[in-house]
């Protein structure tokens, strides 16, 4: 694989950005290579600056449910840009996207658009604290909710990928207000919310299907217990559906598992590849947000017209009969082919899938929480990553991230991937 131009670009970037990147997992540190610099995307493919063409399972870490440069999204963004790129004043497009969000995720009775998933989760915490007048929050081990101070405690994604301790720079006094509970352990959740501290907790935030430790699926009963116990404790339940929104089901994990959270955070798919986040939920809670109420939240580029336009086209695609179902079916077919190849090569592996998200763990037994994910063979994952890259397949450069499919990943692309994988697993 040619990489001279990427190497040259990396040297230039290292002189400008910490580690040469503007977000840590992109640096490829966990898979022992160097990042490829991307020139363009075409449907299910990435083309890098050296001209390598790769089947893309990162898809900008999830947003590109319709693949790269979808013609309708490109057109609507260009049209919107020709009328002006930002106004800092309300536009009808915000309500156009808001209507679509509420149709798909009915628990979001009132919402606010922001510019990223991280912004959405940090605002949701403030709202939960302001509404309940409590300070403690609960998060789940290995879940990652963006680079928000209170949530960078036992977090997945890049924090786990780089093996970092809880981040320096987060005041201990703030971290002490965060209780971390084990994912998929209903007993621990029950015990905590029945304790005095539990009854003084503002909110519990969870990725209902974890994407940031790789994909971990909730076991039957876990989310149900979490819902019941938080309700009984007067604690708000926040679903971080930044990854799962419009992917695990059309209406997200809350639709798939039939659980209604008090607040939901969205990002990624909602912007069709442009920077959008959103938080929303119960009317009585959201009516406390300024200017309706006293809890402050604001953003210059919130509701940006280009991002709103792209989001509308994306959610119209999601609303089409069979759109998300077809991507999920292709994901299941791919995962089945990969399992077959592992079995054929006698390689112990577990592939977790939810909707159009999946992760392969080299593990002997089921992977369903932080300790079981940590037991996976990350060296073998890194080697597989390199073998696949050589064969034209681009997986997330970390064991602790989800891989994604788009509507552009059809049978031919899946076949090519499965063939490359069969060879890569044998060579690994
Ligand atoms: N934190 C993102 C994935 N969970 C990665 C963002 C990026 O590097 O672009």
Rounded to two decimals, the pTM is 0.96
Q: Is 157 in the pocket of ligand 1 (CB under 6 A)?
A: yes
Taking residues 103-121, what's their average pLDDT? 98
- Rounded-to-integer distance, Cα 268 and Cα 246, Å: 10
Q: What is the pLDDT of residue 163?
A: 65
Smallest CA-to-CA distance from 206 within 195, 220, 217 is with 217
pLDDT digits (tens, 9 = 90+) for 335-375: 999 999 999 999 999 999 999 999 999 999 999 999 999 99
Q: How far does the centroid of ligand 1 lie from the alpha carbon of residue 373, in Å? A: 19
CB 360 within 8 A of CB 424: no
For a pocket test of ligand 1, which of 58, 158, 167 has the largest count of ligand atoms closer than 8 A to its C-beta? 158
Q: How far does the centroid of ligand 1 lie from the alpha carbon of residue 61, in Å? A: 6
Residue 62 Cα: closest atom of ligand 1: 3
Q: Is 6 in the pocket of ligand 1 (CB under 6 A)?
A: no
Q: How far does the centroid of ligand 1 lie from the alpha carbon of residue 193, in Å? A: 31
Is 144 assigned a catalytic role?
yes
Q: How far does the centroid of ligand 1 lie from the alpha carbon of residue 72, in Å? A: 25
pLDDT digits (tens, 9 = 90+) for 169-201: 888 888 889 999 999 999 999 999 999 999 999
Q: How large a percentage of the chain has pLDDT more than 70?
A: 99
**Is 390 exposed, middle or buried (CB count within 10 Å of its CB: 0-12, 13-18, 19+)?**
middle
Mean pLDDT of the chain: 96
* Proportion of the chain in helix, strand, coil states, percent, rounded to 5: 45, 15, 40
Residue nearest (by alpha carbon) to ligand 1 atom 9:
23
For residue 150, name the pLDDT band (cuts at 50, 70, 90): confident
Q: Is 25 in the pocket of ligand 1 (CB under 6 A)?
A: yes
Q: Is 61 in the pocket of ligand 1 (CB under 6 A)?
A: yes
Q: How far does the centroid of ligand 1 lie from the alpha carbon of residue 210, in Å? A: 14
Q: State the first-to-last Cα distance of the chain, in angstroms, to the nearest integer.
A: 17
Q: Is 115 in the pocket of ligand 1 (CB under 6 A)?
A: no
pLDDT digits (tens, 9 = 90+) for 276-335: 999 999 999 999 999 999 999 999 999 999 999 999 999 999 999 999 999 999 999 999
Neighbours of 91 (CB within 10 A): 17
Which of the following is catalytic: 57, 140, 144, 394? 144
Q: Is 401 in the pocket of ligand 1 (CB under 6 A)?
A: yes
For residue 165, is pLDDT > 70? no
Is 284 assigned a catalytic role?
no
Q: What is the pLDDT of residue 151?
A: 86
pLDDT digits (tens, 9 = 90+) for 27-56: 999 998 899 999 999 999 999 999 999 999
Q: Is 26 in the pocket of ligand 1 (CB under 6 A)?
A: yes
Residue 212 Cα: closest atom of ligand 1: 4
Smallest CA-to-CA distance from 360 within 385, 323, 324 is with 385
Neighbours of 256 (CB within 10 A): 18
Q: Which domains, from first to last, does the chain contain?
A: 4-69+322-427 (3.90.1150.10), 71-319 (3.40.640.10)
């Amino acid at each position: 694989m040619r990489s001279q131009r990427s190497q040259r670009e990396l040297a230039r970037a290292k002189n400008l950005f910490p580690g040469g990147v503007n977000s840590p997992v992109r640096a490829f540190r966990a898979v022992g290579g160097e990042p490829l610099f991307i020139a363009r995307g075409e449907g299910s493919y990435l083309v890098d600056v050296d001209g390598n063409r790769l089947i893309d399972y990162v898809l900008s870490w999830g947003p590109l449910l319709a693949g790269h440069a979808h013609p309708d999204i490109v057109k609507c963004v260009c049209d919107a840009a020709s009328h002006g790129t930002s106004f800092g004043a309300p536009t009808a497009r915000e309500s156009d996207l808001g209507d679509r969000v509420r149709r798909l995720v009915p628990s979001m009775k009132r919402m606010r658009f922001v510019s990223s998933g991280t912004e959405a989760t940090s605002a949701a915490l403030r709202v939960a604290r302001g509404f309940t007048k409590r300070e403690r929050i609960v998060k789940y081990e290995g879940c990652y909710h963006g680079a928000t101070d209170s949530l960078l405690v036992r977090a997945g994604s890049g924090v786990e990928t780089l093996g970092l301790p809880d981040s320096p720079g987060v005041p201990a006094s703030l971290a002490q207000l965060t209780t971390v509970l084990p994912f998929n352990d209903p007993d621990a959740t029950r015990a905590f919310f029945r304790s005095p501290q539990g009854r003084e907790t503002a909110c519990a935030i969870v990725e209902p299907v974890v994407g940031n430790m790789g994909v971990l699926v909730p076991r039957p009963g876990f989310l149900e217990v979490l819902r019941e116990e938080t309700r009984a404790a007067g604690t708000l339940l926040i679903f971080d559906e930044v990854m799962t929104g419009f992917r695990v089901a059309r209406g997200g994990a809350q639709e798939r598992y039939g659980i209604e959270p008090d607040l939901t955070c969205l990002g990624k798919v909602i912007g069709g590849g442009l920077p959008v986040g959103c938080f929303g939920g119960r009317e009585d809670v959201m009516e406390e947000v300024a200017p309706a109420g006293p809890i402050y939240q604001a953003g210059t580029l919130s509701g940006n017209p280009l991002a709103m336009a792209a989001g509308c086209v994306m959610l119209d695609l999601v609303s089409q009969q069979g759109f998300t179902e077809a991507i999920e079916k292709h994901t299941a077919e791919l995962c089945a082919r990969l399992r077959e190849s592992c079995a054929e090569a006698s390689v112990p592996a577990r592939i977790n899938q939810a909707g159009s998200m999946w992760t392969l763990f080299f593990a002997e037994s089921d992977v369903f929480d932080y300790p079981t994910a940590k037991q996976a063979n990350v060296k073998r994952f890194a080697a597989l990553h390199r073998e696949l890259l050589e064969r034209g397949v681009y997986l997330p450069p970390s064991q602790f991230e989800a891989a994604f499919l788009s509507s552009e990943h059809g049978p031919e692309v899946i076949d090519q991937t499965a063939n490359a994988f069969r060879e890569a697993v044998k060579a690994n």
